[in-house]
Amino acid sequence: MTMTNQTADRFKPFGTTIFAEMSRLAAGHNAVNLSQGFPDFDGPAFVKQAAIDAINQGHNQYARSPGEPVLVEQLATRFETRTGIGVDPLAQITVTSGCTEAIAATLLGIINPGDEVILFEPYYDSYRACIAMAQGTPRFVSMKPTAGRFTFDIDDLKAACTNRTKAILVNTPHNPTGTMFTREELTQIADLCKQHNTIAISDEVYEDLIFDRQHISIASLPGMSGRTITLSSLGKSFSLTGWKVGWAIASPELTNAIRSSHQFLTYATATPFQHAAAVALSEGDEYIGKLKSRYSTARDMLAGELDALGFGVIIPEGTYFILAEHSAISSKLGVDNDIDLALKLTADFGVTTIPPSVFCETKDLCANYLRFAFCKEEATLVEAIRRLQKLND
Ligand code: GLN
């Protein structure tokens, strides 16, 4: 039998995720990879040692499905310190294989066919694929550059809310724009959640990578703790993206929904890494402080250099990404969109970025931008800039 395309229809629109695609392309061209967001330096020694110790101590069988007690207790403490909300660690926290599984478990756990989920575009690509897996319907609210940062118009958000709206998916700090929602913006979203009896799903994986603003969890706003699912992970804060330890924090009722799918997706997450994650969270403040200042320096350096090259840089308030407007560069190179420019910069200049239009339903919303990751060694960033200087030859 000849095998034609065997991919299920629901995945066909999504192809291969842009992160795998661009990292593969970068490797093929020996390009400096500023596309997929992962550090090119290692995580902290004390956390790595804690994982080795956990393995040697025999923490090697299945973990408790919703998460090892030692980790969920740390997470409850951390969440209360950050948001003021006390949670029952055993009934309200679910440890997942990275935040990516937390997103999938959440959406599969709460959505019925036809339920609508509001996404702010540009949106992280797995949100949309998971809504499709759950047979939900995405609705889009555009974030546009306004006074130097990307944000939404409240009237657009109001217009997107219907009686089918099951959830509004918030991501702050926001990938790829670097926007951190203000208290005022989050209050507008929260008011609509309450008015429409809707759940807020809040992806906060970049919560520690912040520069100018205070990070605010929408769960901490009045009337929101019972209707918010807060998602985060270890990877970005501890430069250990390959460990894939994430979590979801929510009311017991919402947690039951998340666990109904989590138990069949992965059942549990790697046991020794959960033990090491508990150590990271209890002893990690100093590391996170240093990482923040390292990223702040890298952000300023890359932003300044991209600006000098002729990009229109949006200075990120958080995350380790810079979105940069490229029309001056692309017109010089004779291309007219982000995908063609990203391919050309990889092939001809040896620098790989992410074309953010792949995160948009409204295709021209981000077609004039490229996303640069700055979670890299200084030497890596310097080499990328050196290569891009050929633009001005
Ligand atoms: N979150 C990372 C990024 O935006 C990628 C994660 C992944 O590759 N799945 O680059």
Is residue 116 a part of any domain in this protein?
Answer: yes
Measuring from atom 1 of ligand 1, which residue has the nearest CA? 37
E-assigned strand segments in 204-265: 228-233, 245-249
Helix, strand, coil content of the chain in percent (nearest 5): 50, 15, 35
pLDDT digits (tens, 9 = 90+) for 14-24: 888 999 999 99
Task: State whether 34 and 135 are in the same domain.
Answer: no
pLDDT band at 363 (very low <50, low <70, confident <90, very high): confident
* Side-chain-side CA neighbours of residue 313 (13 Å): 19
pLDDT band at 157 (very low <50, low <70, confident <90, very high): very high
Q: Which residue is listed with tokens 């110790």?
A: 53
CA max distance for the chain: 61
Phi, psi of 144 (to 5 degrees): -130, 155
User: How far is 56 from 52, CA to CA, in rounded Å?
Assistant: 6
* Side-chain-side CA neighbours of residue 226 (13 Å): 4
CATH code for the domain in which residue 358 is found: 3.90.1150.10
Is residue 51 a part of any domain in this protein?
Answer: no
Is residue 295 a part of any domain in this protein?
Answer: yes
Task: State whether 242 and 96 are in the same domain.
Answer: yes
Check if 36 has its Cβ closer than 6 Å to any atom of ligand 1: yes
Q: Which residue is listed with tokens 């549990």?
A: 268
Q: Is the pLDDT of residue 303 over 70?
A: yes
Task: State whether 36 and 105 are in the same domain.
Answer: no
User: How far is 212 from 83, CA to CA, in rounded Å?
Assistant: 19
Check if 175 has its Cβ closer than 6 Å to any atom of ligand 1: yes
Is residue 230 a part of any domain in this protein?
Answer: yes
What atom of ligand 1 comes closest to residue 354's alpha carbon? Answer: 10
Is residue 207 a part of any domain in this protein?
Answer: yes
Task: State whether 82 and 101 are in the same domain.
Answer: yes
Cα 204 to chain centroid, rounded: 7
Residues 200 and 228 sit within 8 Å (Cβ to Cβ): yes
Per-residue tokens: 193? 């959640």
Check if 353 has its Cβ closer than 6 Å to any atom of ligand 1: no
Task: State whether 116 and 186 are in the same domain.
Answer: yes
% pLDDT > 70, the chain: 100
Check if 37 has its Cβ closer than 6 Å to any atom of ligand 1: yes
Domain boundary residue, one of 283, 313, 331: 283
Task: State whether 116 and 259 are in the same domain.
Answer: yes
Domain boundary residue, one of 221, 250, 283: 283
Check if 19 has its Cβ closer than 6 Å to any atom of ligand 1: yes
- Strand 321-325's sheet: what is its strand order? 312-314, 321-325, 369-373
User: How far is 304 from 392, CA to CA, in rounded Å?
Assistant: 16
The pTM is what?
0.97
Work out the average pLDDT over 121-143: 97
Range of the domain at 241: 61-283
- The total number of residues written for the chain in this structure: 393
Task: State whether 30 and 155 are in the same domain.
Answer: no
Per-residue tokens: 186? 């989050």
Which residues, listed in sequence order, are joined to residue 313 by a DSSP beta bridge? 324
CATH code for the domain in which residue 274 is found: 3.40.640.10
Task: State whether 274 and 382 are in the same domain.
Answer: no
pLDDT of residue 46: 98
From ligand 1's centre to the CA of 31, what distance in Å? 18
Is residue 243 a part of any domain in this protein?
Answer: yes
Per-residue tokens: 102? 């937390």
Identify residue 352 by its one-letter amino acid code. T
Domain boundary residue, one of 283, 316, 335: 283
Q: Is the pLDDT of residue 2 over 80?
A: no
Per-residue tokens: 119? 């996404």
pLDDT of residue 59: 98
What atom of ligand 1 comes closest to residue 35's alpha carbon? Answer: 10
Cα 211-215-217 angle, rounded to 5 deg: 160
What atom of ligand 1 comes closest to residue 19's alpha carbon? Answer: 8
User: How far is 99 from 382, CA to CA, in rounded Å?
Assistant: 31
Task: State whether 325 and 360 are in the same domain.
Answer: yes
User: How far is 98 from 350, CA to CA, in rounded Å?
Assistant: 30
pLDDT of residue 5: 87
Q: Is the pLDDT of residue 1 over 90?
A: no
pLDDT of residue 62: 98
pLDDT of residue 88: 98
Task: State whether 135 and 268 are in the same domain.
Answer: yes
Report the domain count for the chain. 2
Residues 274 and 63 sit within 8 Å (Cβ to Cβ): yes
Helix (H) or strand (E) holding 118: strand 116-121
Task: State whether 163 and 85 are in the same domain.
Answer: yes
User: How far is 368 from 337, CA to CA, in rounded Å?
Assistant: 6
Is residue 2 a part of any domain in this protein?
Answer: no
Report the chain's mean pLDDT, rounded to a whole number.
97
Work out the average pLDDT over 158-184: 98
- Strand 116-121's sheet: what is its strand order? 93-97, 245-249, 228-233, 199-203, 165-171, 116-121, 137-142
From ligand 1's centre to the CA of 113, what distance in Å? 27
From ligand 1's centre to the CA of 343, what distance in Å? 18
pLDDT digits (tens, 9 = 90+) for 175-231: 999 999 999 999 999 999 999 999 999 999 999 999 989 999 999 999 999 999 999
Work out the average pLDDT over 235-256: 98
Q: Is the pLDDT of residue 332 over 80?
A: yes
% pLDDT > 90, the chain: 95
pLDDT digits (tens, 9 = 90+) for 275-301: 999 999 999 999 999 999 999 999 999
Task: State whether 209 and 295 are in the same domain.
Answer: no
Is residue 228 a part of any domain in this protein?
Answer: yes
